C-alpha cells in the first residue's frame, strides 16, 4: 500500500525548532498542539479523530524509536492492516522487530523482537509494517492456537496473504514456525468473520464435518442463499447471527431468506457470540440432533480447553499478557559472515 502520509520528522523539543508539518517529534515541545506518546516522543493532537486514528497517530511517534530497517510486527502490524482481531487487552504492548545490533527502545509498552537479518516490511498507512506473512509468523509466537486460526482466516479472506506465502516464511529455526504450521492445518479462508471461524472450529472440535459458505440453489439452479456452515450429511444450516441481524430491515430479509431455505428442506439454526463462547453445549446438542447421534456432553471438552487458552476468555487474556510482557527478546542467531 502506498504511503499517503508525510514521514514524521525527529527534531528537538524547542518550540522554535518544531516543524509545523511534523506528525511526531522527539523531545518535549511546549506547544499545546502536541501530546505525549512515550518518554521523549510527542505527536500532534487530532481534532475529532476516532479511536483508530488516534492509535495510528501514536504509532507514528513510536516509529521514531526504530532504525531505518526496524518495523512494526505481530499484533500491531495486524491491527494496522485492519485485520479482524480477537479481543486484545488494553495493556497489549506495541510490537516491533529490529536487528540484533540495533539499540533497543527502553520504554514501557513496547515489545521488541530482535533478529539477525532485517524483517521484510512495507509501508501501510504511513507506517513500516512487516509483510503479512512475517506478521502472522510473529503473531504465532504469542497467540493461542484458536486465536491464531481466527487471525489467519481473516488475513486469507481479505487476500492479504496466501497459504503458500505462509509456508514459505516458516523456515527452519524461526520462532513461531511450529505454531503457524499447525494452524495452517485448521484454517479456511472462506469464513467471512472471526465469529464464523469460531463457529466452524466449534463444530470441528465436536466431531462435525462442515463446509463454509456453501451455496444453496433451487431446482432451477437459482441461488437462494450462501450459508455460513453446511453440516455435511444433513439438511442443517448453522450460521452466526451478529447484532446487525436484529435491525428491522436486516431481520425482515433474514426471515424471507429463512422461509426460502425451508421450502428447500433446509433447517436453519442461528447462533450468537454467547452461544459460541458461554453456552456451546447448546450448539453441540443441535449438532448431535442433526447428525442423529446420541448426545454426549463430553464432546464439548476439547472446545472448552481451546477457549480457556484464547483471548475470548479472561483466563486467556491474562495468560497472553504474561507471555508478552514488555521486555526485549532475541529472535534468532546471528548468521555467519558470507552466509
Strand-pair partners of 72? 96, 129
Digit-coded pLDDT (tens) for 253-307: 777 888 888 788 899 999 999 999 999 999 999 999 999 999 999 999 999 999 9
186: exposed, middle or buried (Cβ count in 10 Å: 0-12, 13-18, 19+): middle
DSSP string, 223-246: EEEEEEEEETTSSEEEEE--GGGG
Q: Which residues contact 167 (CB under 8 A, 6 or more apart)?
A: 181, 184
Boundaries of every domain in the chain: 15-188+318-330, 194-304
Dist CA 68 CA 4 (whole Å): 18
Computed on alpha carbons and rounded to an integer, the radius of gyration of the chain in Å comes to 23
Closest CA to 24 of 81, 65, 80: 65
CB 134, CB 122: distance < 8 Å: no
Digit-coded pLDDT (tens) for 211-238: 999 988 888 888 888 899 999 999 999 9
Dist CA 324 CA 318 (whole Å): 10
Digit-coded pLDDT (tens) for 48-100: 889 999 999 999 999 999 988 899 999 999 999 999 999 999 999 999 999 98
248: exposed, middle or buried (Cβ count in 10 Å: 0-12, 13-18, 19+): exposed
What is the predicted pLDDT for the residue at 154? 97
Q: Which CATH class is domain 194-304?
A: alpha beta
Q: Which residue shows C-alpha cell 450460521? A: 239
**Helical H segments across the chain, by residue range:** 51-62, 74-80, 132-139, 145-157, 163-169, 177-184, 194-205, 248-263, 273-277, 280-291, 301-309, 314-324
Amino acid at each position: 500500500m502506498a504511503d499517503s502520509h508525510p514521514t514524521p520528522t525527529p527534531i528537538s523539543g524547542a518550540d522554535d525548532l518544531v516543524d509545523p508539518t511534523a506528525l511526531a517529534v522527539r523531545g518535549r515541545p511546549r506547544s499545546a498542539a502536541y501530546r505525549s506518546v512515550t518518554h521523549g516522543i510527542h505527536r500532534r493532537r487530532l481534532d475529532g479523530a476516532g479511536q483508530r486514528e488516534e492509535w495510528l497517530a501514536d504509532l507514528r511517534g513510536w516509529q521514531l524509536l526504530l532504525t531505518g530497517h526496524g518495523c512494526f510486527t505481530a499484533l500491531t502490524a495486524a491491527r494496522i492492516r485492519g485485520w479482524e482481531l480477537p479481543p486484545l487487552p488494553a495493556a497489549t504492548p506495541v510490537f516491533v522487530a529490529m536487528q540484533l545490533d540495533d539499540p533497543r527502545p527502553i520504554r514501557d509498552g513496547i515489545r521488541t523482537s530482535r533478529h539477525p537479518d532485517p524483517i521484510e516490511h512495507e509501508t501501510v498507512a504511513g507506517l513500516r509494517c512487516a509483510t503479512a506473512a512475517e506478521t502472522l509468523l510473529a503473531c504465532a509466537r504469542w497467540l493461542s492456537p484458536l486465536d491464531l486460526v481466527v487471525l489467519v482466516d481473516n488475513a486469507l479472506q481479505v487476500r492479504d496473504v496466501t497459504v503458500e506465502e505462509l509456508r514459505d516464511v516458516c523456515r527452519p529455526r524461526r520462532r513461531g514456525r511450529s505454531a503457524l504450521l499447525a494452524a495452517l492445518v485448521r484454517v479456511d479462508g472462506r469464513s467471512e468473520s472471526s465469529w464464523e471461524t469460531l463457529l466452524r472450529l466449534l463444530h470441528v472440535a465436536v466431531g462435525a464435518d462442515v463446509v463454509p459458505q456453501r451455496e444453496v440453489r433451487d431446482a432451477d439452479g437459482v441461488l437462494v442463499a450462501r450459508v455460513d456452515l453446511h453440516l455435511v450429511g444433513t439438511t442443517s444450516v448453522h450460521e452466526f447471527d451478529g447484532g446487525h441481524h436484529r435491525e428491522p430491515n436486516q431481520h425482515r430479509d433474514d426471515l424471507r431468506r429463512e422461509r426460502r431455505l425451508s421450502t428447500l428442506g433446509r433447517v436453519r439454526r442461528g447462533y450468537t457470540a454467547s452461544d459460541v463462547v458461554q453456552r456451546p453445549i447448546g450448539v453441540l446438542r443441535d449438532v448431535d440432533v442433526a447428525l442423529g447421534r446420541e448426545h454426549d456432553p463430553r464432546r464439548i471438552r476439547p472446545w472448552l480447553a481451546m477457549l480457556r487458552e484464547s483471548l475470548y476468555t479472561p483466563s486467556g487474556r491474562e495468560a497472553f499478557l504474561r507471555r508478552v510482557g514488555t521486555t526485549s527478546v532475541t529472535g534468532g542467531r546471528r548468521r555467519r559472515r558470507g552466509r
